[in-house]
Amino acid sequence: MANILVVEDQRLIAGVLKETLEIEGYRVTTILNGEDAVQFALRETPHLIILDIMLPGIDGYEVIRQLRSHPKSMHIPIIILSALGEPADKIRAYECDVDGYVTKPYDTDELLARVHRQLRRAQQNYLSPLTDLPGGLQVVRAINYKLGKMKPWSILYLDLDNFKAFNDVYGFLAGNDMILLVGRICQNVVYKYGNSDDFVGHVGGDDFVVLTTPDRVNTLCMHVTARYKEESTTLYRPEDLRCGSISGVDREGQPYQFPLVSLSIGVVNNQIYMPHSIQEVSYLAAEAKRHAKQSTSNISCISPQYDKAHPESMSSATSSSPFLLSPSFSFATHTNAFHDLVPLAEDNILAEYEVS
């Protein structure tokens, strides 16, 4: 069921729109001014926005500008519903990148047709068809947005380990349930413990990203891993949970015990070294995730001198500023006990977590 935000300062019109859309099966929130609309959109990420132009405080054009400039909201379809019906008004709105323009008094059938179309278009072009989270292109835009800012940021790169074995044994529908679970946990944890404009994206397959700030990393990782450990148990057969492994067949057709699916989280931030491109961010995130997957103990370290450990990568990444990394950590939480996550060093740029 899609969530729709109606931004309309006339309470009567807002009430009629809410009732009409709810009859169609949508969840509807009405807001009377532009400032609150922007904050709500960044926090709740509605599937579609119906927006008036003439609002108290900032007008509809400024609302559009702010939402289109932020990666968390830039993909949300916006339909203008306004009494301003001159061609110049419509042209200005479309130049601001709105998705539709309906004039008051409006025809209900026309408005609903536009709503249906824009929701389908957003689903097809911007969102993961499985999780309804922003997909590949939106993830790239969100990371590039962070790279363009001087403020501290952190990227959590989440990946499921041994997922293929689980998918092969339990079937693709159970695999989808596992992916949906991780996406739902990420959304809920970020909503409760993250910043209002933190970004959650589905890269594809069993990979997810969370864009946040360094001060939220420990809390987010701790709660994501704890909830995954608890809630993923419902996806296994009781006998597999008792054994702590999945009974399957390897590539040679021989019986084999596969580990339960674990969740790895690689963390990259810009507190020591400022990555200059999404390619550098991607490489660092992959390294973080790789070390998390390789972790066999509660803590493992990567060499603080990144350029010594990976000299071949430095020439392509940067020729003037070496990656000087402080020690990074990997935390493993086993199925029989949940260990407290060791706090990250304040100057850490790259860390890994793993929960199984």
DSSP-assigned states of every residue in 195-220: -TT-EEEEEETTEEEEEE-GGGHHHH
Token readout for 158 is 């989440």
256: part of which helix (H) or strand (E)? strand 255-259
Task: Give the architecture (CATH level 2) of 136-355.
Answer: 2-Layer Sandwich (3.30)
**Residue 320 backbone phi and psi in degrees, to 5:** -115, -25
> Cα dist. 355→82, 187, 266, 295, 324 in Å?
51, 18, 12, 10, 27
Q: State the pLDDT at residue 85.
A: 93
The answer for residues whose C-beta is within 8 angstroms of residue 113's C-beta and 6 or more apart is: none
Q: State the pLDDT at residue 281.
A: 80
Residue 61: which of 39, 94, 29, 31 has the closest Cα? 94
Q: Which residues pair with 103 in a beta bridge?
A: 82
Residue 214: which of 201, 198, 238 has the closest Cα? 198
Q: State the pLDDT at residue 291.
A: 72
Helices (H), strands (E): how many in the chain? 13, 13
Q: State the pLDDT at residue 61.
A: 97
Q: What angle do CA 316, 321, 323 make, to 5 degrees?
A: 80
Could you list the pLDDT tens digit for every one of the 356 residues in the chain? 899 999 999 999 999 999 999 999 999 999 999 999 999 999 999 999 999 999 999 999 999 999 999 999 999 999 999 999 999 999 999 999 999 999 999 999 999 999 999 999 988 888 888 999 998 888 999 999 888 888 889 999 999 988 999 999 999 999 999 999 999 999 999 999 999 999 999 999 999 999 999 999 989 999 999 999 999 999 999 999 999 999 877 777 788 888 999 999 888 888 766 777 888 788 777 777 777 676 642 222 222 234 333 434 333 333 332 222 333 333 333 322 223 322 333 334 444 455 55
Token readout for 55 is 């609002």
The domain limits of the chain are 3-125, 136-355
CATH class of 3-125: alpha beta
The number of C-alpha atoms within 13 Å of 93 and in the hemisphere containing its C-beta is: 27
pTM score, whole prediction: 0.74
Q: Check: CB of residue 166 under 8 Å from CB of residue 246.
A: yes
Please state whether beta strands 48-51 and 27-31 pair in parallel, antiparallel, or not at all (unpaired): unpaired
Q: State the pLDDT at residue 342.
A: 29
DSSP state of 304: S
Rounded distance between C-alpha atoms, residue 147 and residue 270, angstroms: 9
Task: Name the one residue in this structure whose structure tokens are 């419902």.
Answer: 234
Q: State the pLDDT at residue 100.
A: 97
3-class DSSP assignment, residue 168: helix
Token readout for 31 is 């807001």
Query: Exposed e or buried b for every residue in 193-215, given b needs 16+ CB within 10 A?
Result: bbeebbbbbbbeebbbbbbbbbe
**In 10 A of CB 175, how many CB atoms?**
21
Q: Which residues pair with 331 in a beta bridge?
A: 353
Please state whether beta strands 245-249 and 255-259 pair in parallel, antiparallel, or not at all (unpaired): antiparallel
Q: Which residues pair with 262 in a beta bridge?
A: 161
> Is the Cα torsion angle 277, 279, 284, 285 positive or negative in sign?
positive
> Cα dist. 122→43, 62, 74 in Å?
19, 22, 11
